[in-house]
Structure 1
Amino acid sequence: MHVLIAPDRFAGADTDSTDSTTSTDFTGADGTRRIGAALVAGWLRGATHDTVDLCPLSDGGPGFAGLLAQACGWAPPDADGVLGVAGARTAYIDSAVALAASSQDGSAPVAAQIERAIAAGATRIVVGLGTPTDLPGLPDAGAGLLAALGVRGLGARGLGGEAPRPDGLGEVLDRLRGIDLVAATATDIPLLGLHGASAGAADAGASTREAAQQREREIGRVADALWQARERARAASPSAGLLALAPAQAVMVTPRARDLTALPGAGAGGGLGFALALLGARLLPGATVYAQVVGLTARAQSADLVITAREDLDGASFHGSGVEQAALAASGYGIACVALAERSMMNRRELAAVGLSASYPLRPDGAGSQRAESVEARAGAVAERVARSWSPSWSGAAPGPS
């Protein structure tokens, strides 16, 4: 039997390993890699006759470029989180790498990644964006990025002090002419509102409610000022700001600033989604973008069974996840998809409704918060048991739980 093993991001494994020699990886890819390796090893212990295709998944958040390189067999991204594909003019950017190294500059370091990709000759740039909390501190609506790209009147982060008066946006749009920008967003939250970037940062404990409300007012002013600047740039050059818009965006007639702030994914990366949309980027679900690049559907078609894994499995976290993409790929060919999860809160009916045939817990019953055994060890042990249940032990037998 041929098994596709496609683990989603498993950040918990980054710190749970009992191997103290394992290097720390702040990009978020290391945990997924280790879980994937553990699942493969466990599966082959339980079903030595099977063949396995390992395809780690990502939703566009931390680890995006590194996992993409592994899944496609490409050379790894550079130290700045920029992945260039040999023979192609597409660059993939892991914004979390730049943001993790920045504590005071907001989203500004992502500009250097984009500039690096352009300098390398990329004509299509895909930027992976995580959740609002991937940006240290509070969201800045991409003001730091825009200032670093050359938009004046924003200051270092474009927030606080006097009302922003951005200038130079037209020149930045001219420089990006001919560049197809794509934002692969790990979340579909908007920039503003009760479910926006500032509120999300407060919900995650990154700030107080009062600080989040103040930041909401600040980025609201910045967003409005930037929209007006883009309108002025478009009036001076009708093609400016429409260079890479998705068809649905390109047909909008004189949209207001809130049309961009309300886009799904505008709040991703602390508001980087909004800034990239302002520059003409398409905001797309990161898990979908990733699945298309790695050829997940074709890989599922070649498999007899799909195994996926995730830390938390529930209705809310399932949407927009790599696990969702694995289930969709499997269901398209009538293939069973089995999920392994640290914490699963979906019953059998809910699992069936989203295309999952079964789920297995990685945490033993009654284990509570105890983590004496590493996540990798538990993942390997569970994969071995699942393999013995689902993998036929004789030629021609159909896969399924015994």
Structure 2
Amino acid sequence: MTGTSRVVVAIDSFKGSIGAADAARSIAAGWHAVDPEAAVELRPMADGGEGTLEAFAAAVPGARRMPVEVIGPAGTAVAASWLLLPAGHGGAAGTVGVVELASTSGIELLGARRRGLDADTSGFGQAIAAALDAGVDRLVLGIGSSSSTDGGIGMLRALGARVTDATGHEVAPGVRGLSAIADVDLSALRPLPAGGAVVLSDVSNPLLGERGAAAVFGPQKGLEPAGVADAEAGLARWSASVPDGASLAATPGAGAAGGTGFGLLAWGARLTPGAREVAELIGLAEAVAEAELVITGEGSFDGQSAAGKVPAFVAELAARAGAPAALVAGRIAADADTAAFAASVSLTERAGSAAASLAEPARWLHEAGAMLAQRQRRDGAASSNAP
């Protein structure tokens, strides 16, 4: 290879192991250990879940963290933040506020505990309100990693909605309050910013039914079978109390984050596949257009990863730009299709076991970066020596 290598690292988080920004930095450090002169551009990716703020903060010059204290899923104060992006990113004429449910109402905030009946999305709504108070022109809302199945009621309350029982009192937070809903008043709900609100999610589940928020995701949030049934009935009651609720409940993505997708639709927000929107806001297409290699990946690459996940999206973007893509994943399942990638690295295989890979993700990501740099160097040397 001649000249300076140009590499873009556009990798998702390795959930429960390492965030996207740190993963990208580890790969870049490994590459530079082999090729110190390379221009390695970091564009950490996200799909709306944990790590969304980190991805934007690492990729967008001038992004500012804005501290905010909210009520978390345990009902106690949580020190969180939202991200202020300067004007001009993703085609936005004004400033953009990025708010992440994971860091305000997310399941990771509970540790090993689960509060399936009581956790709600109040903190997420409080952070959104803080961004609105700051005068942002547009909102980008990541709704992965939710701890609750409240249909977004806590969030909407923080934005001015009233959800009351037969006595006129506010219903209890979380699933416990759903069955008591008698009246919903959205008249004092804060308006969307001028540029609207876009919701990042890779979940297409509706609000109700066998693919709905309660049935599919409720057990992950600590609901026993009886609690799942209560949540399903309560979410049906909630959707019937909202204007055009039946149509909104059937919208793909309404069941995301315990029904928070539904609550955001009721507010007037727009749901969109997370990877595509994040890529636009961080200028990924422009970076990829100049790259000789694009490195992407996620924690577990399997047969479902081709359906809107970050690696498949990035590989498609690279192919359109005429650049090869390489895959780095914590594990690559037997049913995974890696045909779109010029090279692939499984950290589990390199480390010898999943446990070893999870214990030291930065180390093995560093090694993966070095391996790919060595491969690129060999390929370049072979090309230059060809007759």
Cα 1:180–1:396 change in 2 (3 A) is farther
Which deviates the most, 363-372 or 322-331? 363-372
What is the CA-CA distance between 1:112 and the residue it aligns to?
1.1
Residues 192 and 268 of structure 2 are in contact (CA less than 8 Å); yes or no, is this contact kept in structure 1? no
Q: Of the candidates 3, 6, 22, which is equivalent to residue 2 of structure 1?
A: 6
Report the CA distance between 1:120 and its aligned residue.
0.8
Counterpart position of 2:146: 135
Partner of 2:154: 144
Letter in 2 for 1:170: S
Matching of residue 13 in structure 1 with residue 32 in structure 2: no
CA distance in 1, matches of 2:11, 2:193: 37
Per-residue displacement from partner, 1:86-114 (whole Å, max 9, x unpaired)?
34332111121110458655011122112
Q: Please say if residues 6 and 40 of structure 2, whose CA atoms lie closer than 8 Å, have aligned partners that are also in contact.
A: yes
Q: Determine helix, strand or coil for the equivalent of 1:127.
A: strand
1:42 to 7, 23, 30: 30
SS at match of 1:351: coil
3-state secondary structure, aligned to 1:81: strand
2:134 corresponding residue in structure 1: 120
Correspondent of 1:382 among 330, 344, 368: 368
1:214 to 215, 230, 237: 230
Q: Which runs of 5+ in 2 are unaligned?
A: 68-79, 88-93, 165-170
AA aligned opposite 1:151: A
Match of 1:358 among 324, 336, 343: 343
| Aligned residue number for residue 86 of structure 1 | 86
Query: How far does the alpha carbon of each residue in 1:280-316 deviate from its partner, in whole angstroms, 9 at most, with x for none?
Result: 1111111111011011111111101111121100121
Going from structure 1 to structure 2, the CA distance change for 1:108 and 1:309 (only over 3 Å counts) comes to: same
Deviates more, 1:42-51 or 1:118-127: 42-51
1-side partners of 2:233 and 2:364: how far apart?
A: 46
> Displacement, 1:396?
10
Are 1:371 and 2:381 an aligned pair? no
Distance in 2, Cα, partners of 1:142 & 1:158: 9
CA-CA distance at 1:177 after TM superposition:
7.0
| Aligned CA distance change for structure 1 residues 177 and 387 (closer, same or farther; 3 Å) | closer
Q: 1:4–1:306: 8 Å Cα contact kept in structure 2?
A: yes
TM-score (norm 1): 0.78
- 1:298 paired with 2:283, answer no
Alpha carbons of structure 1 residues 199 and 159: separation in structure 2 relative to 1, 3 Å: closer
Mapped partners of 1:76, 1:10: distance in 2: 24
Higher strand share: 2
Residue number in structure 2 paired with 1:240: none
Mapped partners of 1:275, 1:70: distance in 2: 29
1:307 & 1:281 partners in 2: Cα distance?
A: 32
Q: How do 1:273-312 residues align onto structure 2 when only pairs under 5 Å count?
A: 273-312=261-300
Change (3 A) 1:383 1:66: closer
What amino acid is aligned across from residue 390 of structure 1 in structure 2? Q
Q: Partners of 2:95 and 2:351 in 1: how far apart? A: 51
Distance 1:356 1:364 in 2: 18
Identity score, percent: 27
Q: Is contact 1:13–1:32 with CA below 8 Å preserved after alignment?
A: no
User: Per-residue displacement from partner, 1:152-195 (whole Å, max 9, x unpaired)?
Assistant: 2342437546542334312316x447451211113222222222
**Would the aligned equivalents of 2:49 and 2:102 in 1 still touch at CA under 8 Å?**
yes
RMSD: 2.6
Instruction: Go from structure 1 to structure 2 and tell me whether the alpha carbon gap of 1:64 and 1:332 turns closer, same or farther (over 3 Å shift).
Output: same
Uncovered stretches (5+) of structure 1, i.e. residues with no partner: 15-30, 231-255
The SS at the match of 1:170 is coil
71-80 or 98-107: which moved more? 98-107
Please give the alpha-carbon distance, in whole angstroms, between the structure 1 residues aligned to 2:163 and 2:40: 54
With 90-99 and 164-173 compared, the bigger mean Cα shift is at: 164-173
- Cα deviation, residue 205, structure 1: 6.5
- 1:3-40 C-alpha deviation (Å, 9 max, x unpaired): 111111112434xxxxxxxxxxxxxxxx3222211101
| Equivalent-residue separation in structure 1 for 2:353 and 2:319 (angstroms) | 33
Please give the alpha-carbon distance, in whole angstroms, between the structure 2 residues aligned to 1:208 and 1:318: 32
- C-alpha contact 2:119 2:174 (8 A) present in aligned 1: no
How far off is 1:386 after superposition?
A: 1.9
Instruction: Summarize the Cα distance change of 1:144–1:302 in structure 2 as closer, same or farther, 3 Å threshold.
Output: same
SS in 2 for 1:274: helix
| Separation in 1, partners of 2:162, 2:374 | 62
The 10-residue stretch of structure 1 (198-207 or 81-90) with the greater mean CA deviation from structure 2: 198-207
Q: Which amino acid aligns with 2:173?
A: R
SS of the equivalent of 1:317 reads coil
Aligned residues: 346
Deviations 1:322-374 (A, max 9, x none): 212211210112211110111112568x222xx32332111136933432761
The residue type paired with residue 135 of structure 1 is: S
Counterparts of 1:166-245 in structure 2, within 5 Å, are 166-172=183-189, 175-176=191-192, 178=194, 180-202=196-218, 204=220, 206-226=222-242, 230=243
Secondary structure of 1:3 counterpart: strand
